[in-house]
């Protein structure tokens, strides 16, 4: 298996995991009426089944078909970008982008099929199923007044991870960091080499000085010996 194929396998593994978990959980909640309004942790977390016709966080600025087309185009663009940067991509980056793609495809699947299944529209008219509801309130104000799904969790987790650890995850930042480490290592090696050469030069100078002193001492001894013989 080539290096590019290995990286594509790493990328599509989280895509498939997120897509399966997202669609199975949505199907489970959708067809279980008792889960449409179900308290998981009293006062903290509940299942509240909804269908979102707009964008994330309840934003409804455009029509559902337009939002669906934008989501599909954006997902294709993300994949093309990943494919173009595949040679420089590392494993954390591929995992994070796999989570983003998996979440995006999960929500796009709802947009493509839910309108047909529910009978309120055709392809691209589908609403995204949301059901995870944080019910914590502070002074009767909801802490997080939005309902989301598994796909949203995957996308959000990936984005937060890339923001917090971008120097280690993003290909450009990781490459620059690696070059910086290599440059620092090279500079350290050069400094060590320079110090070694200086030490060798000091040793050679010391040896030369020692030999000079010994030569002078031998010359003095020879002259002293000759003087003594002349006196005799």
pLDDT at 47 over 90: yes
State the total domains in the chain. Answer: 2
- Per-residue pLDDT reduced to its tens digit, 87-99: 999 999 999 999 9
What residues are labeled active site?
130, 152
Asked whether residue 199 falls in the same domain as residue 154, the answer is no
Asked whether residue 92 falls in the same domain as residue 158, the answer is yes
In this prediction, residue 176 has a pLDDT band, given cuts at 50, 70 and 90, of low
Q: Taking residues 203-207, what's their average pLDDT?
A: 56
Asked whether residue 27 falls in the same domain as residue 89, the answer is yes
- The owner of tokens 């995870």 is 132
The rounded distance, in Å, linking the Cα atoms of 123 and 23 is 17
In this prediction, residue 152 has a pLDDT band, given cuts at 50, 70 and 90, of very high
Asked whether residue 214 falls in the same domain as residue 104, the answer is no
The separation between CA 170 and the C-alpha centre of its own chain, rounded to angstroms, equals 6
Domain assignment of residue 216, yes or no: yes
Asked whether residue 73 falls in the same domain as residue 159, the answer is yes
State the residue range of the domain holding 187. 183-232
- pTM to 2 decimal places: 0.74
Three-class SS of residue 149?
Answer: coil
Asked whether residue 16 falls in the same domain as residue 119, the answer is yes
Asked whether residue 21 falls in the same domain as residue 124, the answer is yes
């Amino acid at each position: 298996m080539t290096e590019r194929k290995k990286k594509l396998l790493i990328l599509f593994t989280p895509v498939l995991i997120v897509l399966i978990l997202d669609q199975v959980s949505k199907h489970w909640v959708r067809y279980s009426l008792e889960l449409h309004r179900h308290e998981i942790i009293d006062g903290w977390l509940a299942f509240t089944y909804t269908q979102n016709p707009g964008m994330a966080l309840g934003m409804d600025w455009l029509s559902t078909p337009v939002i669906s087309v934008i989501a599909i185009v954006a997902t294709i663009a993300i994949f093309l970008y990943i494919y173009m940067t595949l040679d420089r991509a590392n494993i954390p980056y591929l995992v994070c982008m796999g989570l983003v793609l998996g979440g995006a495809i999960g929500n796009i699947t709802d947009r493509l099929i839910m309108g047909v299944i529910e009978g309120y529209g055709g392809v691209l008219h589908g609403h995204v199923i949301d059901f995870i509801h944080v019910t914590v309130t502070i002074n009767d104000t909801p802490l997080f007044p939005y309902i989301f799904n598994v796909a949203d969790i995957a996308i959000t987790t990936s984005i937060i991870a890339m923001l917090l650890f971008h120097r280690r995850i993003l290909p450009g930042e990781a490459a620059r960091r690696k070059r910086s480490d290599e440059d620092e290592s090279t500079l350290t090696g050069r400094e060590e080499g320079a110090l070694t050469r200086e030490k060798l030069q000091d040793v050679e100078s010391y040896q030369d000085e020692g030999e000079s002193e010994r030569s002078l001492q031998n010359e003095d001894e020879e002259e002293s010996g000759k003087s003594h013989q002349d006196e005799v």
